[in-house]
Homo-oligomer: A and B are copies of this chain.
Amino acid sequence: MITRSIRVNRTINRSITTSSVNSIRLDNSTINSKVINAQYAVRGEIPVKADIYGQQIRDGNGDKLPFKAIMPCNIGNPQQQGLNQKPLTFWRQVAALTECPELIDNTQLFPKDVRDRARELLNEIGSVGAYSHSKGVPFIREQVAKFLEARDGYPSDPENIFLTAGASGGVSLLFHLLLSGDPDGVMIPIPQYPLYSASLALAGSRTIQYHLDENRGWELNMNLLEKSFNDAQSQGTEVKALVIINPGNPTGAILSEENMRDIARFAQKHELVLLADEVYQSNIYDKNKPFVSFKKVIKDLKLDDLQLASFHSISKGFSGECGRRGGFVEYVNFSEDFLTEATKLASISLCPPLQGQIAVDLMIRPPKEGEESYEQYRKEKDEVLASYASRSKLLAERFNQMEGVSCNNSEGAMYAFPQIRLPQKAIDAAKKQGKSPDSFYCLELLDNTGICVVPGSGFGQAPDTLHFRTTCLVPGTEDYINTIEKFHKEFMNKYRD
């Protein structure tokens, strides 16, 4: 009933809008060209098309589609409809009590540690309906500092920590401070998470690509890094910073500690700010490669001149709480001037969302052994991490069995990034449609199966290679990969040279 009235309403409105489009000021010729130039493929053409299919199905008009549902594997969004990862009970109970403090003494519904945590947080925050300090609630920043001290074995100052609206919010803030347009530039890995290239486009600054070595498990090769830096300098680029994503997105690779030390020394030598995207630090599948932070590496090396910004997020890990928008950044070896300006910039958007800030506290202070919520929390955490590990492994194995496909094992994060070698006929067909061959492949996959993945060109890839990225978040991974395999066989047969 509701659906129907909305649909009618929508139809009426559409026709009205169409008749009144008289864009004087703002069309593609007048919109800020930096925005026009920015691309964000994980929510780009293919996901937009998938959304349209999804709406068709919800509206009851999906009968003619060759699939019954959209499988949204374009973005690491574990709790979305179709994937439905169960949230951590402890997190949600604390969140509910901070919304409704009058339930805080309800011992029947809420365990003691949940009620204690909510009480402690509310005592510091007051109300989740109030703006907090622009850097985030001081108490939560103090807890983050303790977490970092315990993780790395080095001191951490709450004043150097900013809570943010996801890691994206933190990166955007730093880029604003760091970049004044052209010829400033930032080194980013290829393949990369497109937040970086998009943010650089918005800043009007240069993207300096350094390629990861797919043939060596997406290793970061120091010679390629040096070469990329030198090339940029010789082109007049003011190289400001180096982005490292570890564990890698979309690659899933984990840097060796030796590699990290070389990277840190490189950044110091060239006076680059080191941006460490460490949002997948809890997503590690290879037990022989524990997470090591860049903070620890640069402190071990006593690189007190190297400026490091390390990002973390509540959206990934095993919580997957993307929708509340929470995260933090620690600034290491930055000046008071910088922190003052960063605080002012943060204050213009007032503060990060309070439920995102609370979730940061929950992420870094999980229930302890012996506390009432501990067993359930541990069970929920282990289940999620085990499923990610087994799904990642299965995806890589099965991709490697497909014709013309190869895929490195994911050591971490939540993606697979297979390389696909397509027949010339497919490449020609793509060209005919004005599409890149990987986009063409992914669109065919979507049109035929409802599976939504992102072409490698959205992340960047070596010339003459083609890839796509899928998340490892699908509950029925066996069925999922079977469907891809079936599609792939048919695609290859259709376009075989």
Contacts from A to B (Cβ < 8 Å): 2, 6, 9-10, 12-14, 16-17, 20-28, 31-36, 38-40, 43-44, 51, 55, 75, 77-81, 84, 87, 92-93, 95-97, 99-100, 103, 106, 109, 120, 126-134, 138-139, 142, 145-146, 155-160, 165-166, 168-169, 172, 176-180, 195, 198-199, 202, 240-241, 271-273, 304-305, 307, 315, 319-325, 333-338, 341, 344-345, 347-356
Contacts and interface: CB of A to CB of B under 8 A. Distances in A.
A126 B31 contact: no
B126 A177 contact: no
A32 B177 contact: yes
A6 B141 CA distance: 11
Given A21-B336, A23-B307, A26-B307, A178 B32 contact: yes
A355 B355 CA distance: 8
B133 A51 contact: yes
A204 to B, nearest CB: 8
Q: Please provide the 7 A-B residue pairs with the shortest distance between their CB atoms, ordered closest to farther.
A: A23-B335, A13-B157, A323-B354, A43-B347, A353-B353, A81-B126, A79-B127
Contacts of A315: 131
Contact of A80 (B43, B130, B159): B130
A22 B160 contact: no
Q: Which of A146, A304, A337 has the most CB of B within 10 A?
A: A337
Given A92-B100, A323-B353, 8 more contacts: A2-B120, A21-B334, A21-B335, A26-B338, A31-B341, A129-B319, A131-B315, A325-B353
Given A96-B96, A178-B32, A322-B350, A337 B10 contact: no
Contact of A180 (B20, B33, B323): B33
A197 to B, nearest CB: 10
Nearest to A86: B127
A131 B80 contact: yes
Contact of A17 (B92, B139, B159, B323): B159
18 contacts: A13-B158, A14-B157, A16-B155, A25-B241, A28-B341, A43-B134, A51-B133, A55-B138, A79-B127, A80-B127, A84-B126, A93-B99, A93-B100, A96-B103, A129-B319, A129-B324, A198-B348, A353-B355
Contact of A109 (B36, B103, B134, B145): B103
B304 A27 contact: no
Contacts of A22: 304-305, 333
Contact of A77 (B93, B130, B272): B130
Given A177-B35, A325-B353, A351-B323, A157 B16 contact: yes
Contacts of A240: 25
A75 to B, nearest CB: 7
Contacts of A96: 96-97, 99-100, 103
A191 B469 CA distance: 50
Given A155-B16, A307-B24, A40 B347 contact: yes
Contacts of A36: 341
B92 A99 contact: yes
Nearest to A22: B305
B130 A79 contact: yes
Nearest to A174: B26
A27 B131 contact: no
A77 B79 CA distance: 32
A273 B25 contact: yes
A13 B156 contact: yes
A349 B155 contact: no
Given A96-B100, A131-B75, A133-B51, A20 B345 contact: no
Nearest to A13: B157
Contacts of A6: 139, 142
Contacts of A133: 51
Contacts of A333: 20-23
Contact of A165 (B35, B126, B165, B319): B165
